[in-house]
Amino acid sequence: MSASFATALAAAHDAAASQHYPQGALYVVATPIGNLADITLRALYVLQLADTVACEDTRHTQQLLRAYGIDKSGAELLAVHQHNEAEAAQDVVQRLQQGQRVAYVSDAGTPGVSDPGARLAHAVQQAQLRVMPLPGASSITTALSAAGAVAHATEQGGFVFAGFLPVKQAERAAAVQKLASESRCIVLLEAPHRIQELAAALAPLGERAVTLARELTKQFEEITTQPAHALTAWLEGGTQRSRGEFVVLLHPVATSDDKGGESQRVLRLLLAELPLKTAVRLAAEITGASRNVLYDTALEWKRAGDTAADAGDTNDATE
């Protein structure tokens, strides 16, 4: 253990020991996503205090604890991962009912979001026992904070967490097509061995801005924003660019500050002269807006009796 973490353990005791840590409670503890220094003082204290540390991978967690100078025996570690989560959750509940303090950590970041832990927390709550979250590192919020991808005070405000897309090509393409109609920022996660396939699936989104964030908080951290159609070329621009875990942010669909938005203004002009499908395709290419969103907008105008949309529909019929 380095002297810096010895100091951190002492600081953790000074800062957190006077607080209340009830027995029979599950402590959901966020751990660093790469940089060991991103641990919180309260997390260090609870990991020392816990009777049991439940974790995705006991070997990985043992190494993490030793890096901080926290000594836990193998008997004090309990594997709780996606393949045994339901059964292991009952073991945790029994330990809590016996008055133990159980800390749960995933391999990295905040448990229960994209990592195992949700079933465990639910099982503990169903048993009328307490779940105490200890906030900390998260790859999702880390990437969002640096990308400038979340619009505020607009219809595109907030973000949508979609996690990992399906592995099979057809299912992944269908998922991307569905997400294309979402105008807010979309957060995806991807493993290095599948990032090229995801880039290819996102290419039809054209000019929509996409941020790739890899190796967050680590030495070779890299954050770049590219149009969707250029992602594959960027990844192929360096052998290291496909390495590391990825957070992928689809930026909000670009609109102007006017009520209708620039994409809708362009669409309306094109519908007056062109078939609906052609107008939608060109409006998407010109403005970078989602083709699916524009198509749905044109149909909505048609249902509302909009003359421009009706003209486009008439043209479409004669195309």
Q: Domain-by-domain residue ranges, the chain?
A: 3-137, 140-250, 262-317
Q: Which pLDDT does position 258 carry in this prediction?
A: 40
| pLDDT tens, per residue, the chain with 319 residues | 566 899 999 999 999 999 999 999 999 999 999 999 999 999 999 999 999 999 999 999 999 999 999 999 999 999 999 889 889 999 999 999 999 999 999 999 999 987 789 999 999 999 999 999 999 999 999 999 999 888 754 566 789 999 999 999 999 999 998 998 888 999 999 999 999 999 999 999 988 999 999 999 999 999 999 999 999 999 999 999 999 999 999 998 765 444 346 788 889 899 988 999 999 999 888 887 778 888 888 887 877 766 555 655 655 544 4
Q: Which pLDDT does position 260 carry in this prediction?
A: 44
Q: Which pLDDT does position 259 carry in this prediction?
A: 39
Q: Which pLDDT does position 64 carry in this prediction?
A: 96
Q: Is the Cβ–Cβ distance between 247 and 215 less than 8 Å? A: no
Q: Which pLDDT does position 306 carry in this prediction?
A: 60
Helix, strand and coil in the chain, % to nearest 5 = 50, 15, 35
- What's the pLDDT tens digit per position in 223-238? 999 999 999 999 999 9
The CA angle 150-152-158, to the nearest 5 degrees, is 50
What architecture does CATH give domain 3-137? 3-Layer(aba) Sandwich (3.40)
Q: Which residues of 196-215 are buried (b: 16+ CB within 10 A; e: fewer)?
A: bebbbbbbbbbebbbbbbbb
Helix (H) or strand (E) holding 195: helix 195-202
Q: Is the Cβ–Cβ distance between 102 and 210 less than 8 Å? A: no
Q: How far apart are CA 102 and CA 99, in angstroms?
A: 9
- Topology alike, domains 3-137 and 140-250: no
Q: Phi, psi at residue 158, to the nearest 5°? A: 80, -175
140-250 CATH choice from 3.40.50.1970, 3.30.950.10, 3.30.565.10, 3.40.50.280: 3.30.950.10
Rg value, the chain, Cα = 25
